[in-house]
Amino acid sequence: MDRWGMRGLVLAVCLAMPSATLAQPVLRVTDDSGGPLPARLMQIARLSARGTQVVIGPGVCLSSCTMLLGLRGACVRPDARLGFHGPTSQLRGIGLGPAAFETWSVRIAAHYPRPLRDWYLESGRYRLTGFHMMTGAEVIALGARACDGP
């Protein structure tokens, strides 16, 4: 194969390589107070479609932010602080009915690794005011992936 043919072959191989060799977008979560579940589910779908890597910490990730743990490749720094609570109505002071509470609890928990999911469904979801605060190290001990390096 001549010199130009080899260059063409190398170019074709490079173009055919999976995008994993290219830099992935990264979302660094350092101050996220949560928000409505439908909006968070849409964000998770967008981040997943883009292959965005999520790094939680240092700083806080509260409420629906914790659902980012369900993204492929999401990781938690040990110095992060995560706050969990059960699903609540967007109308302050009005709770969810039992069926809606169960449905949304299960949808939230589906974004957590198994040990964290079990804890959440057994007790974490019953906190409806304030947060069950955990460090990133505690969440890692419950199955979340630890970030490599700083």
Hey, where are the domains in the chain? 24-141
Please give the single-letter amino acid code of residue 106: V
pLDDT tens-digit profile, the chain (150 residues)? 444 444 433 333 343 434 444 567 899 999 999 999 999 999 999 999 999 999 999 999 999 999 999 999 899 999 999 999 999 887 766 778 999 999 999 999 999 999 999 999 999 999 988 899 999 999 999 999 999 876
CATH code, residues 24-141: 3.90.226.10
The residue among 76, 74, 65 whose CA lies nearest residue 34 is 65
Q: Is 15 exposed, middle or buried (0-12, 13-18, 19+ CB in 10 A)?
A: exposed
